[in-house]
Amino acid sequence: MSREDRVRGALWSFFAGDALAAPTHWYYGGRAQVARDYGKIVDYTKPVLELPGSIMAKSNTDGAGRGSYNPRKKTIIGDVINHGKKPYWDPARSYHYHCTLEAGENTLEAQLARVLMRSIASSGRFDPNDFRKSYVDFMTTPGTHDDAYASTCHRMFFANLVHRKLRPEECPDNDRHNVDTMDGLVLPTIAAIAEAYAAPDESPASRDLARRAAAETVRVTRNSPALENAAGALSDILFDLVVGKETDPRKAVQATYRIFPGDVDPMVACYLSESFPSTLQMAVTYSTDVWTALLANANAGGENVHRGSVLGAILGAGAGASKLPRRLVDGLAAKPNLETEIDTLLRALERRRGDPKG
pLDDT at 287: 84
- Alpha-carbon torsion angle 311, 181, 112, 129, nearest 10: -120
CB atoms within 10 A of CB 39: 9
Tell me the average pLDDT across 328-335: 99
Q: How far is CA 337 from CA 20, 97, 118, 272, 329, in A?
A: 18, 24, 11, 31, 12
- Alpha-carbon torsion angle 54, 57, 60, 62, nearest 10: 120
Q: What is the enclosing helix (H) or strand (E) of 230?
A: helix 225-242
The answer as to whether 318 is a domain residue is: yes
Who contacts 214 (Cβ-Cβ below 8 Å, separation ≥6)?
A: 188, 189, 191, 192, 195, 231, 232, 234, 235
Distance between CA 253 and CA 256 in Å, rounded? 5
Residue scoring higher pLDDT (279 or 254): 279
Share above pLDDT 70 across residues of the chain, in percent, rounded to a whole number: 94
pTM of the model: 0.95
The answer as to whether 79 is a domain residue is: no
pLDDT at 259: 63
The answer as to whether 168 is a domain residue is: no
Identity of the amino acid at 146:
D
- For the cut 70, the answer to whether the pLDDT of residue 263 exceeds it is no
In the three-class reduction of DSSP (H, G, I as helix; E, B as strand; rest coil), residue 203 is classed as coil
Of 90, 84, 100, the closest CA to residue 49 belongs to 100
Q: What is the CATH number of the domain that holds 123?
A: 1.10.4080.10
Confidence of residue 66 (pLDDT cuts 50, 70, 90): confident
Q: Chain-wide mean pLDDT for the chain?
A: 93
pLDDT at 273: 66
* Residue 95 φ/ψ, nearest 5 degrees: -80, 150
The answer as to whether 53 is a domain residue is: no
- Cβ atoms of residues 82 and 150 within 8 Å: yes
pLDDT at 64: 93
In the three-class reduction of DSSP (H, G, I as helix; E, B as strand; rest coil), residue 95 is classed as strand
DSSP of 23-85:
GGTT--SHHHHHHHHHS---S--PPPSB-TT-GGGGB-TTSSSB----TTS--IIIIIBSTT-
DSSP of 270-309:
SBHHHHHHHHHHHHHHTTT-HHHHHHHHHHH-SSHHHHHH
Distance between CA 179 and CA 303 in Å, rounded? 14
Q: Is the dihedral of CA 288, 247, 199, 236 positive or negative?
A: positive
Q: Which of 123-127, 183-187, 257-261, 265-269 has the lowest mean pLDDT?
A: 265-269
Confidence of residue 267 (pLDDT cuts 50, 70, 90): very low
Tell me the average pLDDT across 30-37: 93
pLDDT at 255: 74
Q: Which of 85-89, 123-127, 166-170, 275-279 has the lowest mean pLDDT?
A: 275-279
Distance between CA 148 and CA 352 in Å, rounded? 37
Question: Buried (b) or exposed (e) across 111-135, using 16+ Cβ within 10 A?
Answer: bbbbbbbbbbbeebbbbbebbbebb
Distance between CA 9 and CA 313 in Å, rounded? 7
Confidence of residue 276 (pLDDT cuts 50, 70, 90): confident
Distance between CA 155 and CA 6 in Å, rounded? 34
pLDDT at 275: 78
- For the cut 70, the answer to whether the pLDDT of residue 310 exceeds it is yes
Tell me the average pLDDT across 203-216: 97
Give strand pairing partners of 271. Answer: 181
The answer as to whether 301 is a domain residue is: yes
- For the cut 50, the answer to whether the pLDDT of residue 208 exceeds it is yes
User: How many structural domains are present in the chain?
Assistant: 1
pLDDT, tens digit, for every residue of 68-122?
Answer: 788 889 999 999 999 999 999 999 999 999 999 999 999 999 999 999 999 999 9
Measured in whole angstroms, the distance separating CA 33 from the mean position of its chain's CA atoms is: 24
Domain range enclosing 254: 3-46+103-146+175-353
The answer as to whether 292 is a domain residue is: yes
- For the cut 90, the answer to whether the pLDDT of residue 309 exceeds it is yes
- For the cut 90, the answer to whether the pLDDT of residue 65 exceeds it is no
The answer as to whether 162 is a domain residue is: no
Q: What is the enclosing helix (H) or strand (E) of 152?
A: helix 152-162
The answer as to whether 69 is a domain residue is: no
* Residue 309 φ/ψ, nearest 5 degrees: -65, -50
In the three-class reduction of DSSP (H, G, I as helix; E, B as strand; rest coil), residue 181 is classed as strand
